[in-house]
Structure 1
Amino acid sequence: MISKEDFIHKDRIIKGISDDGSIKISVVKTTDVVKTARKKHGLSLLNTVLLGRAMTGTMLMASELKGEERIQMRLEGNGPVQLLVAEANRVGEIRGYAQKPQAELNYENPDTDLSDGLGVGLLSVRKTLYNEAEPRTSSIELVNGNITDDLAYYMVQSEQVPSAVLLDVGMNKEGEVTEAGGLLIQRMPDAPEGAIERLQEKLLDFDSISSLFSEDYYIDDIMEKAMEPTKVKELDRQPVDFFCRCSRKRFVSALAMLGPDDLKEMKEEGQELVCHFCNEQYHVSREEIEELFQQTKAKMN
C-alpha cells in the first residue's frame, strides 16, 4: 500500500497562470514514469536521460490539449541513439521507447557530450486533435540534441510561442534515477515586453528540477519559485503515469487487416508480437491465425 507521503508526492502535473494572465506555466514530476520506462525497455544511462526528458517534455506539451487528444514527439539523429519516440495525452498517460535501448557513449572521452547521443537530426511533433481528420505534424532540425534546447526552439519556430523550458532526469553515482521532471513557461499574447525573456534568463541559474524534488520541493513549490516575484494561481492538476493502451485484442485486430497471403505465411508457427511503446509481448497461436486466414479468404469470395 502506498504511504500518505508517497501519495502526496507522486507523479503529477500542475498548470498555473500569472495574476495578470500574461504568463502560463506547467510543472510536472515524472520520476516513476522514467523509472518504469527504464525497467520496461532495459534502457542505458544515455537513453534513460534522453527518453526521460522526451517523455517529460511531451507531457508538458500535452497539458495544453483537450480530453484524450494526444501528442507524439520523434527525435531522429545520426548518433548512437538513432530514434526516440515519446507520446502523451491530456489525461496524463505517457509512453515512449528508444530504437537502440542499450546505446551508450564513450564517457572516457573528455569531449563527450549528452547531445552526441542523438547527433545531427530532426525533432518532429505530431498532434492528433479533435475535429481534424489527419494528425498535424511539424518538424525542426535539432539545435543541440539535449532535448531541452530543442523543445524550446520548437515552441518558438513551430508553435510561434516564446517559451522557457527545463527538463531534467537526475541520476546518482550508482546510475539509478533519483528524480525527474520539468517545467514549461509560455508567454501569452498580451504579455508585457521582455516578460518571457526575464524568465528565460532566470532559468539559466535555476536549480535543477531533480535536486529540488530531492529537497522535498513539490510541483506547487517549483511553480511558485520559477515565477517569483510574480504571483501565480493554479489552473489544474492531475496524476501522470507511464501507461500504454496496447492489448492482445488490438494486435489480433491488426493481424485481421492483413491479406490472406501474409496470414498464410504466418499460420505455420504462430506469432510473438511486441509493443514498441511498453515492450509487452503477446502470443497469437497458429489456430487463431488459421481462423483469421479463413475469415479473410471468405471475405474475398
Structure 2
Amino acid sequence: MSKDDFITKDRLIKGISKNGHLKISVVKTTDVVKTAQKKHNLSLLNTVLLGRALTATALMASELKGEERVKMRIEGKGPVGLLAAEANRVGEVRGYVQNPHVELDYSREDVDISDALGVGVLTFSKILYNEAEPRTSSIELISGNVTDDLAYYMVQSEQIPSAVLLDVGMTDEGKVNEAGGLIIQRMPDAPEGTIEELQEKMLEFESIDTLLAEGNYIDDIMEMAMDPIEVKELDRQPVDFFCRCTRERFINALAMLGYEDLKEISDEGQELVCHYCNEQYNITQEEIEKLLMETKAKMN
C-alpha cells in the first residue's frame, strides 16, 4: 500500500460542532463495498443497496463502545428479498443479500431503485455490553432506498432528527468508483430548526462518492457539510470488510445439533458457507463422526 493509499484508506471520522448542538460522522467505505461486490458477485443494483447498508451500519456503530455491534436487516417483497449488514465499533463491517444477482427491468420508464426491496420492514438490533438481549426496533420502509429509511428510523425509533447521506458511485464498467456516507444528529439542547436547515442543505449537497472522487477526504467532507458551523474532531478509526467466521466456529455450531440430526449428515462431509462473507468451509465425514461420538457420550 502506497503512502497516498494509506492516508486516504477507508476510515470514519466523528466530530461535534463547537457550540455542542450537532454531532457528525463521515465514513469512506469504497474498499468495503468493493470487497462486498467481489465476495458476493453482486449485481449493480445490489452493490448500491448493500453498499448503502454497509455504510449505514458503519455510521451507526460509531456511537457504540468497544466491540458492541449493530445489525441492520431489511426484508422486502421485492426481488432483492432480504438484505443484512452489521458493524462493530472497531470498524469491522460485513453483510449479504438474499438474491445477489437480481437486477431491475431498466427498460421500464417508471422503474425506481425502491422497487428492488418493495414493501418491507427495516429492523435495527444493537448488541450492547451488560445487556442480555439485543435492543431491537423496526419500522416499515418508507422508500426502500436505504438512505431515506435510515433517516426515518432515526426519527421514529431513536427520536433523533438526523440528516443522512449514503452514496455508492459506479463506473460505466460496473465497478465501484467511490462510496461513503455521513450522518448529522441534533443534540438535545440544540435550537428548534437546526437539523431542518441541514436537511435542506443536504438536498443540494454533492454526493459523497463525487466528493471523494474529486479528491476530498472525510475531514474535508465533514467541514463542508457543517459549514459555516465550526466543527471539532472527536475520533477517527479504520473501517474494513471483515468477518470473524472460522472452521472452528462452524464445527462448534454443528456440535450444537442433536444426536439424530448429526446422524442424518454423518454419511458424508458437509460444505458450509458463511452468509456474510461467502467463505466456504469443508467439514469432513471424520469430523462429523467425532462430533456424533461426543454427543452420544454426553447422553450416557
TM-score w.r.t. the length of structure 1 is 0.99
Matched, 1:207 2:206: yes
Amino acid at match of 2:92: E
The Cα offsets for residues 78-137 of structure 1, whole Å up to 9 and x where unpaired, read as 100011000000000000000000011001111110111000000000110011101111
- Structure 1 stretches of 4+ moved >6 Å: none
Alignment of 1:79-118 (within 5 A): 79-118=78-117
The equivalent residue for 1:24 is 23
Q: Does 2:157 match 1:119?
A: no
CA distance in 2, matches of 1:297, 1:91: 40
Is 1:152 equivalent to 2:145 in the alignment? no
CA deviations over 1:138-194 (Å, ceiling 9, x no partner): 000000000000000000000000000000000111111100000000000011121
- Aligned residue type for 2:109: P
How many positions carry a matched residue from both structures? 300
Q: Which amino acid aligns with 1:105?
A: L
Q: Following the alignment from structure 2 to structure 1, what is the Cα–Cα distance between the partners of residues 4 and 110?
A: 42
Matches within 5 A, 1:1-301: 2-301=1-300
Query: SS of 2:37's equivalent?
Result: helix
The CA RMSD over aligned residues, in Å, is 0.5
Q: 1:68 aligns to what SS in structure 2?
A: coil
The letter for the 2-side match of 1:8 is I
Mapped partners of 1:153, 1:205: distance in 2:
19
Unmatched 5+ stretches in structure 2: none
Q: Structure 2 CA distance, aligned partners of 1:76 and 1:193?
A: 34
Residues 218-256 of structure 1: per-residue CA shift (max 9 Å, x gap): 000000000000000000000000000000000001111
Structure-1 separation of matches of 2:133 and 2:28: 31
| Letter of the structure 2 residue corresponding to residue 264 of structure 1 | K
TM-aligned CA deviation for residue 77 of structure 1: 0.5
**Aligned counterparts of 1:259 and 1:17: Cα–Cα separation in 2:** 52
- What is the DSSP-based 3-state SS (H/G/I as helix, E as strand, rest coil) of the residue aligned with 1:204? helix
Match of 2:208, as an amino acid? I
In structure 1, what is the Cα distance between the partners aligned to 2:190 and 2:220? 23
Q: TM-score, normalised by structure 2?
A: 0.99
What amino acid does structure 1 have at the position aligned with 2:288? Answer: I
Matches of 1:79 and 1:258, distance apart in 2:
33
Structure 1 residue 291: deviation in Å? 0.5
Q: Which amino acid aligns with 1:185?
A: I
Alignment identity in percent?
Answer: 74
Give the AA of the match of 1:50: L
SS of equivalent to 1:66: coil
Report the alpha carbon displacement of residue 290 of structure 1 after superposing the two structures with TM: 0.4
Aligned-partner Cα distance in 2 for 1:289–1:47: 36
* Structure 1 residues not aligned, in runs of 5+: none
In 2, the alpha carbon distance for the partners of 1:124 and 1:48 equals 20
Distance in 2 between the 1:257 and 1:200 partners? 49
